[in-house]
Amino acid sequence: MMTDNDLLSHNTAGERPQPPRIILIGYMGAGKTTIGHALSKELGMPFYDLDWYIETRMHRSVKQIFDEKGEEGFRRIEHNMLHEVAEFEGVIISCGGGTPCFFDNIDYLNLQGATVYLKASPQVLCQHLKMGRTVRPLLLGKTQQEMEQFVSEQLLAREPYYLKARHVINVDLLDHYDKIKVTVGQIKTLLGL
Averaged pLDDT in 10-residue chunks for the chain of 193 residues = 36 53 94 92 95 96 92 96 95 96 96 95 85 65 83 95 95 73 82 80
Of 45, 34, 31, 54, which is closest to residue 127 (Cα–Cα)? Answer: 31
Residue 47, class by beta-carbon neighbours within 10 Å (0-12 exposed, 13-18 middle, 19+ buried)?
Answer: buried
End-to-end Cα separation, the chain, in angstroms: 21
Counting every residue written for the chain, the total comes to 193
Q: Quick one: pLDDT at residue 134? A: 62
Half-sphere exposure of 5 (CA within 13 A, CB side): 0
Gap between the Cα atoms of 33 and 173, Å rounded: 18
Torsion angle in degrees (nearest 10) through CA of 90, 114, 104, 46: -30
Contacts 24+ apart (CB under 8 A), 184-189: 184/35, 184/38, 184/39, 184/42, 187/22, 187/35, 187/39, 187/116, 188/42, 188/43
Q: Quick one: pLDDT at residue 8? A: 35
Largest CA distance in the chain: 55
Q: Quick one: pLDDT at residue 18? A: 61
Q: Quick one: pLDDT at residue 61? A: 93
pTM listed for this prediction: 0.84
Q: Quick one: pLDDT at residue 16? A: 52
| Best CATH choice for the domain 19-188 from the list 3.40.50.300, 3.20.20.100, 1.20.120.420, 3.30.70.890 | 3.40.50.300
